[in-house]
Amino acid sequence: MSQLNIALAIMGGVAVCIALLSALIKRSPVSEPALAVLVGLAVGPYGLSWLDLARWGETFSILEQAARLTLAIGLMGVALRLQRAALKAILKPVMLLLIFVMLGMWLVSSLLAGWLLGLSLWAALLLGAVVTPTDPVVASSIVTGKFAKQHLPLRLRDTLSAESGANDGLAYAFVMLPILMLSHSPDQAWSRWLIESVLIGIGGAALMGAIVGFAAAKLLAFAERKKLVASSSLLGYTVAFSLLTLGLAKLLQTDGVLAVFAAGLAFNLFSEKHEEQEEENIQEAVAKLFTLPMFVIFGIALPLHEWVALGWPLVALALLILLLRRPPVVMVMASTWRHSLNSRDSLYLGWFGPLGIAAIYYAALAHSHLHDPLYWHAASALIFASIMIHGVSAAPLSRLYSRHPGAAPRGSAHLDE
């Protein structure tokens, strides 16, 4: 009971303090997720020893389910934040990011993991898949708020948001293929992957999410017309139907992460337009109440002793993942979306592909299937490095971008804010 009360006090205190100082933090070199992780590290087993996940239950089960729930809430917020006017203009770069850049990030990360950690082919592909998706929660700390609106155009903010929202769910197929290959015969693994992971997991999730989102939008509109609802606030409604979607997806054996994002996107497209200020308030509430505690939990769970045991190859992997996993791939593809994003947009987009809760979820998922702690030990170091370095660089690079934004591309000039 004392662990629960301590956790509630610390996580609530972190959310309150960050909410009170949010404007100052946005301008500072330290991001909100980074602060929450450092608090978790300070109160965890390697700090004050106030909290220890091992005393709560099975550590990896806690990480997997907490990350899954946090992703669902965060992805709903991302889907609602996307501007309808921007979706058509940024569709091409988002699709290219989800297909070619995502594949490139997976292969580069896997090659680096196999080389530096001496992993087998499928083990390297699994670790590479875990760190492939860009995180919508960490990305939201970069592209939301007054500071982001002052320094970054809408086309860039929504491109990063849409990509990070969609690729979290799509990464499920990338992660499950090596998991199945490591735990089944090749023939059985391929058939299960195609049917269970791709067809049912990804295809079923997208379809189910779209249906739920469409139905939720129409039901809300009907209830408002009939004056059945007392308040028009979306906060409680969208959180509730994101949890509904997550639960249904699990029961139907589909990917809940992708289903929630598809539901939120369908709801956004088919619902009656609400005031932007209300949507902004929803995002702030979601970020403070639901996502920051997950970063505190991550900080508590960091395996520092295991990092030391892995030594310099892990340090080299973290640095090379940040430098080579995404920027070169994005710049190779930059010419294909020049009508939607200019070269400076591509540079910014190439650097900011942060790791976060999605990678935590997939690392815990890999452990639940294979029971090999190496994936968590390595992935957690890469996630920590990304949160810290991307967080430190966000404000100065956003200011630098705003001083030299370049000309707005023809296809998205109307989004130049």
H or E segment and range at residue 413: none
Residue 60 makes CB contacts below 8 A (sequence gap 6+) with: 364, 367, 368, 376
Is position 59 within any domain?
A: no
Domain of residue 210 covers 2-21+32-52+64-415
CA 87 – CA 59 distance, rounded (Å): 39
Any idea what DSSP says for residue 408?
P
Residue 306: which CATH number?
1.20.1530.20
Would you state the pLDDT for residue 277?
A: 46
Taking a C-beta distance cutoff of 8 angstroms, is the pair 89, 162 a contact? no
Is position 26 within any domain?
A: no
One-letter-per-residue 3-state SS of 73-122: HHHHHHHHHCCHHHHHHHHHHHHHHHHHHHHHHHHHHHHHHHHHHCCCHH
One-letter-per-residue 3-state SS of 121-185: HHHHHHHHHHCCCCCHHHHHHHHCCHHHHHHCCHHHHHHHHHHHHHHHHHHHHHHHHHHHHHHCC
Would you state the pLDDT for residue 394?
A: 85
Is position 326 within any domain?
A: yes
Taking a C-beta distance cutoff of 8 angstroms, is the pair 356, 137 a contact? yes
Packing angle between helix 154-183 and helix 84-96, nearest 10 degrees?
40
Give this prediction's pTM: 0.93
Is position 57 within any domain?
A: no
Would you state the pLDDT for residue 115?
A: 96
State both tokens at 328.
């070169």
Would you state the pLDDT for residue 97?
A: 94
Residue 170 makes CB contacts below 8 A (sequence gap 6+) with: 98, 102, 133, 202, 258
pLDDT in tens, the chain (417 residues): 588 788 888 888 887 887 777 777 777 777 888 899 999 999 989 988 898 888 888 899 999 999 999 988 888 888 888 888 788 888 899 999 999 999 999 999 999 999 999 999 999 999 999 999 998 888 877 777 777 788 888 888 889 989 988 998 899 999 999 999 999 899 999 999 999 999 999 999 999 999 999 998 888 888 878 777 766 556 677 788 888 999 999 899 899 999 999 999 999 888 875 555 455 555 556 656 778 899 999 999 999 999 999 999 999 999 999 999 999 999 999 999 988 888 899 999 999 989 999 999 999 999 999 999 999 999 999 999 999 999 888 888 888 888 877 777 876 666 655
3-class DSSP state for residue 319? helix
DSSP string covering 252-285 = TTS-HHHHHHHHHHHHHHHSPPPPHHHHHHHHHH
Is position 185 within any domain?
A: yes
> What is the count of structural domains for the chain?
1
